Structure 1
Amino acid sequence: MDWFSTLLEVIDLRSFSNLWFWIALAVLWSTASHWVIGVPYDMVHRAARNGGQTQQDLEDLVRIYCNRILYIAGVSGLWILGFGCAVMTSLLLLGFVYGVEFAQAVFLMGFPMCIVGLMSLNTARIIQDRDLEGADLRSRLFRHRFQVQILGMISIFVTSLWGMYQNLNLSAWG
């Protein structure tokens, strides 16, 4: 039974006092700000610096990802929206009405990612509708990344405030 108690210590459902939660949160936002609608952001910088074939590769990759995002949204967007709203509502109720800390943590990570998904869908639609290329495309990708980073900072701030509140609240009663 010693290995079982060790396993439960590593996989602790008290998320806000667990180092793994904060590592996962940092990796989540780092990844979200690096992959702009599926395109690695360093490729945008390389295209601005080098131009030519690198710019053409960026435009091709953006076109592929925009078409993919818009196709998925067109085919199953309502199902994804309905399922996502059901999951987020369940997490919201479990976490903040019934007090399940793990659900609070997953909600505080998942809800902003839903917003990032909607922002990516909007950016893909703008890129396709305006047929952006060159400097205009790079500017739009930069703007999208900046908005994701601002959302990430707000999300991390709110999550850390809520996590500190939970930890102080539990330590006061425990």
Structure 2
Amino acid sequence: MDWYQTLFELIDMRSFSNLWFWIVLAVVWSTASHWVLGVPYDMVLRAKRQGGQAEVDLEDMVRINVNRLLYIGQVSGLWLAGFACFFLTLLGLTGFVYGMEFAQAVFLLAFPLSLVGMLGLSTARLIQAEGATGELLYKRLNRQRLYTQLIGMVSIFVTALWGMYQNVTLGPLGG
């Protein structure tokens, strides 16, 4: 047995039967729902509870992140959208047409995150257009977090179903 085969037996390259993939999936969605428009959600809760300087800090941080997101969207948004669509199409075709499990796993992570990204850009535009502060800002950030969590739950459910299907169909050793 050569070192290459030993290495790939030690590190299972199949995604859906690999514990590390499921850990990454959980961490990605936990992180995505904690950081709302680049602002940690505990900061939103603290500002809502305490007001004062915590609220000023939150509004400043949201303003900075909203302006940053909108600037990136205006300057290079079309290019980023084109590359993202190309990348997702490449992953989708490689994974689901040609049967590469790693590409399927990355697609099932990246596609829902792209939806969260588009939703975040939409929320940033809304916050800037309304000049949202105080209760309206909390409402927008809470709604963004709720939608992110809903997309995450659906994504985890679909990924788990597809992963179970792959493991049952291919078996534990990959067919």
- How many residue pairs are counted as aligned between the two chains? 174
- Distance, in Å, in 1 between the alignment partners of 2:72 and 2:25 is 26
Match of 1:161 in 2: 161
% identical equivalent positions: 64
- Distance, in Å, in 2 between the alignment partners of 1:42 and 1:3 is 47
- Distance, in Å, in 1 between the alignment partners of 2:80 and 2:13 is 27
- Distance, in Å, in 2 between the alignment partners of 1:117 and 1:10 is 35
- Aligned-residue Cα RMSD (Å) equals 1.6
Note if 1:21 corresponds to 2:4.
no
Q: Tell me how far 1:5 sits from its aligned partner.
A: 4.6
Shift in alpha-carbon separation, 1:57–1:6, aligned structure 2, 3 A: farther
Match of 2:89 in 1: 89
* Counterpart amino acid of residue 136 in structure 1: L
* Counterpart amino acid of residue 30 in structure 1: S
Structure ranking higher in helix proportion? 1
Match of 2:78 in 1: 78
The correspondence of residues 1-174 of structure 1 with structure 2, limited to 5 A, is: 4-5=4-5, 7-171=7-171, 174=175
Structure 2 unaligned spans of 5+: none
Q: TM-score, normalised by structure 2?
A: 0.95
Q: Tell me how far 1:138 sits from its aligned partner.
A: 0.7
- Distance, in Å, in 2 between the alignment partners of 1:102 and 1:94 is 9
Runs of 4 or more consecutive aligned structure 1 residues displaced over 4 Å after TM superposition: 1-6
Structure 1 unaligned spans of 5+: none
Q: Tell me how far 1:7 sits from its aligned partner.
A: 3.6
- Distance, in Å, in 2 between the alignment partners of 1:157 and 1:57 is 36
